[in-house]
Amino acid sequence: MYKIIDGKALAAKMRAELKAEVEAFTAETGKEVGLAVVLAGNDPASQVYVRNKIRACGETGIRSHAFYLPADVTQSQIEELVASLAANEDIHGILVQLPLPKGLDAERVLGLIPYEKDVDGFSAENIGNLAMNRKTLVACTPFGVMKMLESESIPLKGKNAVVLGRSNIVGKPMAMLLTNADATVTLCHSKTENLREICARADILVAAIGRAKFVTADMVKEGATVIDVGMNRDENGKLCGDVDYENVKEKAAYITPVPGGVGPMTITMLMHNAFIAAKRSVE
């Protein structure tokens, strides 16, 4: 019998706990935790993400500073804004919503965010620290997955963990976090040979490839923990993950649904990172 890891419920619990910690921080230091959110252009999906992030700030007592720039903003205008946020002591975290409108150099813009304020955990410094198992700001999605595993006390030490997908924002940091937790990790991608067999040996299987229902029941070991990061649309336009949930769940011991799994945890970890950045700023 499988158990669903309910990301929505865990996220709500963590946000309530964080709110109390943020309030205690403000009472103690006289400072609000400040998160700057920069959105350039009119991409509808980005607008939804930014709205959700600002709402999560409200729920956790974090002060959001939103900056909406037109789609024709110039490289120097957006760089000037990010540089001013980098220098602003009231801003502890800076988030630039990606993708930026065509013609803008995102790497240069992100490069202006000091690693102490890089609440997305995308910077080379933060990724390097993670690789070296040092205290750092960790990319929100894989960090959220670790919290989900922790919430069910799923053993990782010595276990076979397989991560599908090697992106810089999900797959690679996920593999590093699992390695740091003493799992034996295989990181798979589109060129991996014998992918199905590798997956079928996993005690913990994390799918982050962006292919609807790619992970089928024959790829899953009996009693495995299956974490679905994917966000896709199925043939009927319905939101679905990378895992064929209906068939895979019968073999899994633990499984995350889509929606209501990893998604709500990602934004929660962003709030968590903003709080960590604020605490470190006064240390």
Nearer to ligand NAP, 181 or 229 (CB): 229
**Residue 95 contacts ligand NAP per CB under 6 A:** no
Write the DSSP string, 48-105. Answer: HHHHHHHHHHHHHTPEEEEEEE-TT--HHHHHHHHHHHHH-TT--EEEEPSSPPTT--
CB contact at 8 A, 221 and 176: no
**Residue 121 contacts ligand NAP per CB under 6 A:** no
**Residue 233 contacts ligand NAP per CB under 6 A:** no
**Residue 141 contacts ligand NAP per CB under 6 A:** yes
Nearer to ligand NAP, 66 or 239 (CB): 239
- Dig out the tokens for 62 from the structure: 């974090």
**Residue 171 contacts ligand NAP per CB under 6 A:** yes
97 is catalytic: yes
- Dig out the tokens for 210 from the structure: 């962006």
**Residue 166 contacts ligand NAP per CB under 6 A:** yes
Catalytic residue among 118, 120, 228, 244: 120
Q: How are strands ordered across the β-sheet holding 184-188?
A: 3-4, 254-255, 225-228, 204-207, 160-164, 184-188
Contact with ligand NAP (CB under 6 A): which of 36, 262, 271, 276?
262
**Residue 256 contacts ligand NAP per CB under 6 A:** no
The piece of 13-21, 49-57, 67-75, 183-191 that touches ligand NAP (CB under 6 A) is 183-191
Query: Given 3-state DSSP classes, what are the helix, strand and coil percentages for the chain, each rounded to the nearest 5?
Result: 45, 15, 40
- Angstrom CA distances, 226 to 12, 65, 99, 107, 140, stand at 21, 36, 29, 33, 19
Contact with ligand NAP (CB under 6 A): which of 119, 169, 226, 240?
169
Interface ranges with ligand NAP (CB under 6 A) = 141, 164-167, 169-171, 188-192, 195, 208-211, 229-232, 262-263, 266
